[in-house]
Structure 1
Amino acid sequence: MAWETHPVTPDRFEDFADVINPNRRATHCWCLAHRLRAKDIEELGAGDRETAVRALCEREHPPGVVTYRDGLPVGWCSIGPRTENPKLSASKLIRPLDDVPVWSIICVVVRGGHRRQGVTTALLEGAVAWADSQGAPAVEAYPVDPAGERMDLTMAFVGTRSMFAKVGFEVVGTTGAVASGMPRLVMRRELAGA
């Protein structure tokens, strides 16, 4: 099995879309709900989410990476400098712990039909390696650890604490954000540039 992870540049946009929005629904979040405010989406894409995310793919730091297994796009990770995520940067609940210019993971998606097959581990390893190659000093993620309780939330990284720990992330704090009464953790992995 061959794994590859690449930033979502314009030439890889369709692969990204195949993972997060295979039916190309216009009202789908396009992985912008936790990244951009409505005014940012309006500015980038005249209110059209797909157009806005396409614009992000043209920036120096695209909005994330796609992981491929044997050439097929199977996973998406929204990762980039925290400062390039306006909604996260403005959050009163997920505040920076210190002055380290971290890169943040704010969404992880595994393509339907490919879950429970090791994609998340390969995806996170690839995302961290890409951030490291771009000079990131550390990468943070904000999962919810339900401690055995059942939760039905999307984009909360529910139960992924162990997946982040498996690829070298450590719990360094908690946030003011909660999901079903449980706070999100702050998990960080220091990189070579730190």
Structure 2
Amino acid sequence: MSFDIRPADWEGFSAVMGDKGGCGGCWCMLWRLPRKEMEAGMGASNREAMRRIFDSGHIPGLVAYRQDEAVGWIQIDRRMAFPRLAKSRILKPVDDAEVWSVSCFLVDKRVRRQGLSVTLLRAACDFARERGARILEGYPIDSPKPKYPAVYAWTGFAQAYREAGFTEVARRSETRPIMRRVLV
């Protein structure tokens, strides 16, 4: 299966998110907003917050298309765009290196298990490199469960990161490694 990966625009992003806005109305604002603000904004407020990012001209990620239908999303930005990561006990910075982060994935259930996450990660490396990033970091799930529910793996799976050339640099939790790929 072949996918066309493009810099996200609002139309493609919102098509992937669907009417519910991804995971219950998050609209991929989980890491960008303080917890209370994000939870209070589930739905319309989070949608508008992400819409403002797009309207500013900023491209916060990539959208995957299959035959011109938006079927996948990966959010990529400078780590500082995701302040909740810095406050996380498990995902706090490893060091003071300037990194870009992959914070979220959403893959249409009709195209899961077809390598799209790896394709998106590889494209994210190119996207970040073209914008001056030297290191791309991610925070995947690495669960011993043989069938971890994909809907709860919005940060991706560790195996996809490994296949895309990332290596583990820290692990503060049994199931949550911090993985990096040097882009230069």
Question: What TM-score, normalized to structure 2?
Answer: 0.83
Superposed CA offset, 1:84-132 (max 9, x none): 1122233343121122111111111111311122221221111111011
Superposed CA offset, 1:158-181 (max 9, x none): 6x2111111100111113xx4xxx
In structure 2, how many angstroms separate the alpha carbons of the residues matched to 1:106 and 1:168?
A: 17
1:110 aligns to what? 107
Find the partner of 1:135 among 98, 107, 132. 132
Question: What TM-score, normalized to structure 1?
Answer: 0.79
Instruction: Describe the shift of the 1:129–1:138 C-alpha distance in structure 2 as closer, same or farther (beyond 3 A).
Output: same
Point out where structure 2 has 5 or more consecutive residues left out of the alignment. none
Q: Secondary structure at the residue paired with 2:110?
A: coil
In structure 1, how many angstroms separate the alpha carbons of the residues matched to 2:62 and 2:103?
A: 12
1:191 aligns to what? 183
Point out where structure 1 has 5 or more consecutive residues left out of the alignment. none
Is the contact between residue 102 and residue 155 of structure 2 (CA under 8 Å) also seen in structure 1?
no
2:66 counterpart of 1:69: yes
Report runs of 4+ in structure 1 exceeding 6 Å deviation: none
Is the contact between residue 30 and residue 50 of structure 1 (CA under 8 Å) also seen in structure 2?
yes
More divergent stretch after superposition (85-94 vs 108-117): 85-94
Instruction: Describe the shift of the 1:173–1:65 C-alpha distance in structure 2 as closer, same or farther (beyond 3 A).
Output: same
Q: Secondary structure at the residue paired with 1:79?
A: strand
Is the contact between residue 5 and residue 127 of structure 1 (CA under 8 Å) also seen in structure 2?
no
RMSD over equivalenced CA pairs, Å:
2.7
Q: Which amino acid aligns with 1:189?
A: R
Q: How many aligned residue pairs are there?
A: 179
